[in-house]
Amino acid sequence: MGFFIQDLHRQIEQLHTEAHQTSKMIIYRGQGLSNDDFEKIKKSEGGLLSFNNFLSTSIDQDVSYSFAESVGYNSQLIGILFQIEIDPLISTVSFAFLDNTSQYSDSEKEILFPMHTVFRIGKIKKIKDRLWQVNPTLTSDNDQQLKQLTNHIRKENKKRTDGIV
């Protein structure tokens, strides 16, 4: 499994390099979240958000809105429309346009992010009952809170691995 994940990361980086994207973009993701997970996001407005998987997004707001709206009928889930701002000039995070590589390229207009991409949670607003919009922004390479968190995690990992031979 590790080989597959490394290879996918490598392919995302390659496609990102080939795309030469330099202008700001707004992309979207529609999904359902449990009530507890959504409450955590609401309480973290202004803080950091990371997805623990590869993140599939779309440049088509209608496609993402449909995904978000469809889960709102499940009483266990809240529909979330993520409206994500990306500025490639302030972040070196790779992302890939899947125009020619995805089976859904025509209908979904997908953009794929690697695992653990970090965003700053912006404005959160209610669209309608059981459907909310969250506006994260891709973090800058100079984000001080992200740097502090990264350094803290590195120190903790070093402490844990120092005793391992």
Domains of the chain with bracketed CATH = 2-162 (3.90.176.10)
Residue 123 in contact with residue 137, Cβ under 8 Å? no
Angle at the Cα of 116 from the Cα atoms of 69 and 155, rounded to 5 degrees = 145
Tokens of 42: 């609401």
Range in 14-18, 43-47, 62-66 the model is least confident about: 14-18
On whether the pTM is more than 0.85, the answer is no
User: Which residues touch 2 (CB under 8 Å, ≥6 apart)?
Assistant: none
- Match 């990306």 to its residue by tokens: 86
pLDDT for residue 83? 98
| Half-sphere exposure (Cβ direction) of 112: Cα atoms closer than 13 Å | 22
Of residues 153 and 161, the one with the higher pLDDT is 153
Of residues 24 and 124, the one with the higher pLDDT is 124
- DSSP line for 39-59: HHHHHTTTSEEE-SS-EEEES
pLDDT for residue 102? 46
For the stretch 64-121, pLDDT in tens is 999 999 997 889 999 999 999 988 777 777 788 876 554 554 556 888 888 888 899 9
pLDDT for residue 2? 74
pLDDT for residue 11? 73
State the Cα–Cα distance between residues 15 and 1, nearest whole angstrom.
21
